[in-house]
Structure 1
Amino acid sequence: MSIKDDFSSSMTDEVLTDMAGKFFGDRKELENKIGIFREYAEALSEKAAQVNARAAFLNYLLMNRDNAVLFYESLGITPSVFLIAGIISGELLPPFVPSAFTVRGEFVRLAEWAYDRLQRTCDDYMNGNEESDGEDDDKHGDVNYRLLSTMCDLINQDVDKVNEDVMPSQVLYCFKRFNTESDIKECVTGGGTFLGDDCSLNRELAFEKIDFDSFKLKKYPEIPPLSRVKSKIETVCKKLYAQNKEEIRSMMADLKERCKTRLA
């Protein structure tokens, strides 16, 4: 082999190595991004379950659907997404029922506590929470709906770029052009395949865009912090107490016992 042929072969190997590295590297990087997105989506689903649990406890305090609708509408909140029922486990209970001079006062304060927990959890789900109190922290603690939605858009842009810029047929065509033995063999045997941009290889190896809606992640409305609606909560809860005095007294007594049992 002449020096010229040796140099040409070396250059060919380098070009093919770089091309293969980019092709497989870009695809691997995109696969990793999609994998991370799916992990984050699963973590966000767990956060959604926490929001639902907080809403279920608040609705339990409000006793029935009509009262819950009245409560949310009094605060300027569309109630439909929060009208959730569920089993009230010990994890949802406060360490103790907030103290007050009257049962009515205890009921109002407990409703405020439950609303505050719902609002904070909902805000963390939608926007993230920089002031984490350590509760429910994990390796995906910063994931939130808006972040995940943005990630989805960016990854789908990468999907378009990888599918269009580095087509498998183009890479294979370049390899075949540099492979003299393959060319000779195809000429002798009559082999060879058309590798246009619309070939089946490209379609089979193309990445699919992420369908964000398929993950069925709720988009909760922004709800105001407790400090902005505390007086409204007090007003509506006092009204509910006046209309359901005996039922609320019984519920509060039961919750006090359950809190004691939890601490025992």
Structure 2
Amino acid sequence: MKKISRLADELIEDTLKEAADTFFGRRKGIEHEISLFEQKVRELRPLAQRIEQAAKSLNFLLLKGKEVENFWRYLNVEFPLDFDPDWRLGITIPAGLTIKSRYAKLLVYVYQTLAKAIEEYTYGKHVEDTVIKGRKLVTVNYNFLQRWASEINEKIEKINYYQKPSDVLQFVKRMNVEEIEKERIAGAPMKYSLDKDLLLDKLIFSDYKLKRYPDLARDDKTIKLVKRFARGLVKRNKQEIKRILEEISKYAREFSK
């Protein structure tokens, strides 16, 4: 009988160990995955800063913000208007015979810089795998992180629903006959308030402050619209644009030092 009792105790011990490993192991796995997710969020932030720099520079070029709304309306694009005009690009003004041509080229360049940054931020870009030769990888991007956050939340929902702490504790207590008898005598109900306290919190994607930007076209038709807008702006505000170009030239000289 002692041998049978010992075997039963060992079986109970193994069962409890497996239950604990499953309960804590899955939670630990989620915590590790969230840590990896947040690391990738940090990797994307420099690209978000590039978008901000390009948007601020574009707004500066558009008469220091006065023509921003008209510009996006002209292109039929709903773009955020909350970027303060501030020249942040260390580039020289393109060559041209007239202010109109120089300004138009510069506006196109800044617009395309913004469009490329948004495209890479939203969809990523293909790069060579440094481990497996010939394989292409896609860099971290907004869409990938948004999908990943949803997948993590689905896992959290399943763990919170199917692996409630109180259910695990009930299971452990059922393996202990003496404990059950004590609770029966004491009249203590086998109900616990652990679930609410130990719930895994779902990710709130908006808390990571990653903005969603509209795609910006870079086809010939769109570039012609940008140039046309630039020429019309110079025609109406030649002296103001001349001063803006002078400020940009001064900044470029200081930036190159």
Give the conservation status (yes or no) of the 8 Å contact 2:124–2:141.
yes
Question: Where in structure 1 are there 5+ consecutive unaligned residues?
Answer: 133-140
What corresponds to 2:233 in structure 1? 240
Pairing 1:1-264 to 2, within 5 Å after superposition: 2-79=2-79, 81-89=80-88, 92-94=89-91, 96-130=92-126, 142-183=139-180, 185-186=182-183, 190=186, 192-195=188-191, 199-225=192-218, 227-264=220-257
CA–CA distance in structure 1, aligned partners of residues 10 and 32 of structure 2? 32
CA–CA distance in structure 2, aligned partners of residues 170 and 176 of structure 1? 10
- Following TM superposition, by how much is the alpha carbon of 1:169 offset from its aligned partner in structure 2, in angstroms? 1.1
Cα separation, partners in 2 of 1:66 and 1:253, compared to 1, 3 Å: closer
- Following TM superposition, by how much is the alpha carbon of 1:248 offset from its aligned partner in structure 2, in angstroms? 1.5
- Following TM superposition, by how much is the alpha carbon of 1:67 offset from its aligned partner in structure 2, in angstroms? 2.0
Q: Deviations over 1:17-56 (max 9, x none)?
A: 1111110001111122233333444554554333222111
The aligned amino acid for 1:15 is T
CA–CA distance in structure 2, aligned partners of residues 71 and 252 of structure 1? 18
- Following TM superposition, by how much is the alpha carbon of 1:193 offset from its aligned partner in structure 2, in angstroms? 4.3
Q: Deviations over 1:188-214 (max 9, x none)?
A: 6x274423xxx4111111112222234
CA–CA distance in structure 2, aligned partners of residues 211 and 258 of structure 1? 40
Cα separation, partners in 2 of 1:101 and 1:83, compared to 1, 3 Å: farther
CA–CA distance in structure 1, aligned partners of residues 173 and 253 of structure 2? 76
Give the conservation status (yes or no) of the 8 Å contact 1:65–1:83.
no
- Following TM superposition, by how much is the alpha carbon of 1:173 offset from its aligned partner in structure 2, in angstroms? 1.4
The aligned amino acid for 2:19 is M
Q: Deviations over 1:66-102 (max 9, x none)?
A: 42222222222124x145214434xx221x2222222
CA–CA distance in structure 1, aligned partners of residues 220 and 24 of structure 2? 53
CA–CA distance in structure 1, aligned partners of residues 208 and 34 of structure 2? 13
**Misfit runs of 4+, over 6 Å:** none
Cα separation, partners in 2 of 1:122 and 1:82, compared to 1, 3 Å: farther
CA–CA distance in structure 2, aligned partners of residues 261 and 217 of structure 1? 32
Give the conservation status (yes or no) of the 8 Å contact 2:183–2:189.
no
What corresponds to 2:134 in structure 1? none
CA–CA distance in structure 1, aligned partners of residues 187 and 113 of structure 2? 69
TM-score, normalised on structure 1?
Answer: 0.83
Aligned residue pairs, count: 248
The aligned amino acid for 2:168 is V
- Identity rate of aligned residues, in percent? 25
Give the conservation status (yes or no) of the 8 Å contact 2:65–2:84.
no
Give the conservation status (yes or no) of the 8 Å contact 1:52–1:82.
no
TM-score, normalised on structure 2?
Answer: 0.85
2:126 is paired with a residue of what secondary structure?
coil
Cα-Cα RMSD? 2.5
Cα separation, partners in 2 of 1:250 and 1:221, compared to 1, 3 Å: same
Give the conservation status (yes or no) of the 8 Å contact 1:176–1:183.
yes
The aligned amino acid for 1:243 is R
CA–CA distance in structure 2, aligned partners of residues 86 and 38 of structure 1? 30
Give the conservation status (yes or no) of the 8 Å contact 2:115–2:217.
yes
Q: Deviations over 1:92-138 (max 9, x none)?
A: 221x2222222322111111111111111112222222269xxxxxx
